[in-house]
C-alpha cells in the first residue's frame, strides 16, 4: 500500500488472498523463506504505452495501453485485454494477480497476465474500433507471442475486437501463430470458447449445490451483467431447468419475475451482440426494467454476479441472505467486496470466488492453444466435456484445501490450491 497508494482494487485482491493464505504459509515456512509472496505481488514486467488513433471526424484521440505480465512460473503469461474507461494500472494488477491463481487452478500450463486500455468501445463505429485496435496492437505485438504471452478478451473486448487485434498482430509479426485466444472459428478459434466462462460458472455452482443435495431445477437465479459471461450463464441455467430472473448493465436491472423465456434469451443475443444495444431495450411479457438498480434485492435462490468488480457490497449481501439465497458463484472477477464475502462465509452459505468459478473461460482458452498447436479442431461436445471435467476438478481442489468444520470455504480452498503449484515452481526455479 505504501508503494502504490492509488491501487485500491489491487490491495483488495491481495488482502483477500493473504487472509486465507497466512495460516498456510506459517505452517509451510519454505515458502516464506523464499519470499514467494513478496515476489508474487510484483509484476515480472508491466508496459504502459500511448495509443493514438483517428476518429470518424478526423480528430486525433489518445488512449493509454497496458500489459501487466505478472507471473510466468508455470507457463507463458495468459489473461485477457479489457477496454473500459475505468482501466488503469491498479485495476489490471488486480486482474493479473487473480489470473495467476486462476490459471494455476485449471491445471493447464499457463502463467498470469492482463492488459487493456481506457478506450471505451461503446458508441464507436466499427471503423473507429478497428483503427484503435490496430494502433493498440502496433505497440503490444512486440511484447507478446505464442510461447511468451497470449492475450484474450474481457470487458469490452469481444469477437469483433479480437478479430481486429489478431489481424494486425499477424500482419506485423508476419506469422500465423496462436497468439490470441477467443479467435473466430474461421481462423483458429475453439468451439465453446464464447460459452465457456458462463457455462463453467454454472457447472461449478452445480457441484457446490450437489453438496447440499440441491440443483438448478426450478431455482430462481439472479444474474448481473448482460455481456459474454452473463449471456451464456443464463443459457446454461435455463437448460438445467432454472429460472433466470434478472440481467443487468451499468444503467439498471431487467427483472423477469417468471424467468426469462428462450425467445427472450435469443432476442438478448441479437440485441447485445448484433445491435449493440442496452438491456433496457429488451422488452416483452413479464419483463420490467428497474432503472439504476442492481439485481441483489430481488428474491432468489442462487446469485451469479457476472458484470464487474465490486458490484455486490455488504448491503447487497445482507439482502440476498434475507431473501433466502443459498449459493453465490462469481462469474465476474471480484464482484463481491471483502465485506460481502465475509457476510456470506459467516452465514455459511455456498460462496465461490471468481478465480475458481469463472476459470472455465481461460481453461477453454488453454484448450484452444492445444488445438492450435496440434493443428486440429475438437467438436463442441469434446470441448464441453473437457470444460466440465476441469470445473469438477477445480471444485475438488477447493474442497481438498478448503474444508473446515464440516463446511467448504471455497475462498481458502481456491487460494491455497492455486498458490501451491505456482509457489513450488518458483521454489524450483530459484530467485528470479
Catalytic amino acids?
Answer: 114
CB 333 → ligand NDP: shortest distance, Å?
Answer: 4
- For residue 343, the minimal CB distance to ligand NDP (Å) is 20
| Smallest separation (angstroms) from ligand NDP to the CB of 157 | 7
Cβ neighbours for 220, distance < 8 A, ≥ 6 positions apart: 242, 243, 245, 259, 299, 300, 301, 302
Report if residue 366 touches ligand NDP, rule: CB under 6 A. no
Which is nearer to ligand NDP, 302 or 426 (by Cβ)? 302
Please identify the residue of the shown chain whose CB is closest to the bound ligand NDP: 227
Q: Is 7 in the site for ligand NDP (CB under 6 A)?
A: no
128 forms part of the interface with ligand NDP (CB under 6 A): no
Beta pairing class for 220-224 and 252-256: unpaired
**Please, which residue, 108 or 229, has the CB nearer to ligand NDP?**
229
In the complex with ligand NDP, the residue whose CB is nearer, 249 or 384, is: 249
Position 200 contacts ligand NDP (CB under 6 A): no
Minimal distance, residue 407 CB to ligand NDP, in Å: 26
- Taking CB under 6 A as the rule, does residue 98 contact ligand NDP? no
The single residue among 153, 163, 242, 413 that binds ligand NDP, judged by CB under 6 A, is 153
129, 304, 327, 332: which one contacts ligand NDP (CB under 6 A)? 332
Per the CB < 8 A criterion, the answer to whether 410 and 400 are in contact is: no
Q: Residues with Cβ < 8 Å from 398, sequence gap 6 or more?
A: 352, 356, 408, 410, 413, 414, 417
Distance of alpha carbon 106 from alpha carbon 68, whole angstroms: 20
CB nearer to ligand NDP: give 65 or 227: 227
Residues in region 158-187 near ligand NDP by CB under 6 A:
158
Q: Taking a C-beta distance cutoff of 8 angstroms, is the pair 96, 79 a contact?
A: yes
Tell which one of 295, 361, 402, 413 touches ligand NDP (CB under 6 A): 361
Residue 138 or 231 having the CB closest to ligand NDP: 231
- CB atoms closer than 10 angstroms to residue 85: 12
Query: Scanning the structure block, which residue is given the C-alpha cell 458462463?
Result: 198
List the x/- string, 219-248, binding to ligand NDP by CB under 6 A: ------xxxxxx------------------
Q: Which of 128, 149, 154, 316 binds ligand NDP (CB under 6 A)?
A: 154
The verdict on 250 binding ligand NDP (CB under 6 A) reads: yes
- Total residues contacting ligand NDP by CB under 6 A comes to 24
Residue 311 near ligand NDP by CB under 6 A: yes
Burial class (CB in 10 A: 0-12, 13-18, 19+), 301: buried
Q: Which is nearer to ligand NDP, 225 or 242 (CB)?
A: 225
Residues that bind ligand NDP (CB under 6 A): 153-156, 158, 197, 225-230, 249-251, 306-308, 311, 331-333, 358, 361
Amino acid at each position: 500500500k505504501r508503494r502504490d497508494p492509488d491501487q485500491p482494487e489491487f490491495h483488495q485482491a491481495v488482502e483477500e488472498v493473504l487472509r486465507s493464505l497466512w495460516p498456510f504459509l506459517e505452517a509451510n515456512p519454505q515458502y516464506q523463506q523464499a519470499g514467494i509472496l513478496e515476489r508474487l505481488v510484483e509484476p515480472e514486467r508491466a508496459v504502459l504505452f500511448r495509443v493514438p488513433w483517428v476518429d470518424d471526424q478526423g480528430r486525433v484521440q489518445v488512449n493509454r495501453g497496458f500489459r501487466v505480465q505478472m507471473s510466468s512460473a508455470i507457463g507463458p503469461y495468459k489473461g485477457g485485454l479489457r477496454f473500459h474507461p475505468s482501466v488503469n494500472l491498479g485495476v489490471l494488477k488486480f486482474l493479473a494477480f487473480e489470473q495467476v491463481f486462476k490459471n494455476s487452478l485449471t491445471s493447464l500450463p499457463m502463467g498470469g497476465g492482463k492488459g487493456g486500455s481506457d478506450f471505451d468501445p461503446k458508441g464507436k463505429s466499427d471503423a473507429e474500433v478497428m483503427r484503435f485496435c490496430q494502433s493498440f496492437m502496433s505497440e503490444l505485438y512486440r511484447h507478446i507471442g505464442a510461447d511468451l504471452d497470449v492475450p484474450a478478451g474481457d470487458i469490452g473486448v469481444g469477437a469483433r475486437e479480437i478479430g481486429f487485434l489478431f489481424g494486425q498482430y499477424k500482419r506485423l509479426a508476419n506469422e500465423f501463430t496462436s497468439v490470441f485466444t477467443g479467435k473466430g472459428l474461421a481462423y483458429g478459434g475453439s468451439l465453446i470458447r464464447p460459452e465457456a466462462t458462463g457455462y463453467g460458472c454454472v457447472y461449478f455452482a452445480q457441484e457446490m449445490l450437489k453438496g447440499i443435495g440441491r440443483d438448478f431445477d426450478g431455482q430462481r437465479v439472479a444474474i448481473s451483467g448482460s455481456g459474454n459471461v452473463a449471456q451464456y450463464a443464463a443459457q446454461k441455467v435455463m437448460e438445467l431447468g432454472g429460472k433466470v430472473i434478472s440481467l443487468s448493465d451499468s444503467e439498471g436491472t431487467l427483472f423477469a419475475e417468471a424467468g426469462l423465456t428462450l425467445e427472450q434469451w435469443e432476442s438478448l443475443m441479437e440485441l447485445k451482440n448484433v445491435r449493440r444495444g442496452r438491456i433496457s431495450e429488451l422488452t416483452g411479457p413479464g419483463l420490467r426494467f428497474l432503472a439504476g438498480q442492481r439485481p441483489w434485492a430481488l428474491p432468489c435462490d442462487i446469485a451469479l454476479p457476472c458484470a464487474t468488480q465490486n458490484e455486490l457490497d455488504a448491503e447487497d449481501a445482507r439482502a440476498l441472505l434475507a431473501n433466502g439465497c443459498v449459493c453465490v458463484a462469481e462469474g465476474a472477477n471480484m464482484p463481491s467486496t471483502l465485506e460481502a464475502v465475509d457476510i456470506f462465509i459467516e452465514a455459511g452459505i455456498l460462496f465461490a470466488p471468481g478465480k475458481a468459478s469463472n476459470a472455465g473461460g481461460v481453461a477453454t482458452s488453454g484448450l484452444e492453444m492445444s488445438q492450435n498447436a496440434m493443428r486440429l479442431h475438437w467438436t463442441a461436445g469434446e470441448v464441453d466435456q473437457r470444460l466440465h471435467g476441469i470445473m469438477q476438478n477445480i471444485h475438488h481442489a477447493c474442497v481438498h484445501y478448503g474444508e473446515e468444520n464440516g463446511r467448504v470455504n471455497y475462498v481458502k480452498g481456491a487460494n491455497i490450491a492455486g498458490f501451491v503449484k505456482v509457489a513450488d515452481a518458483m521454489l524450483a526455479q530459484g530467485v528470479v
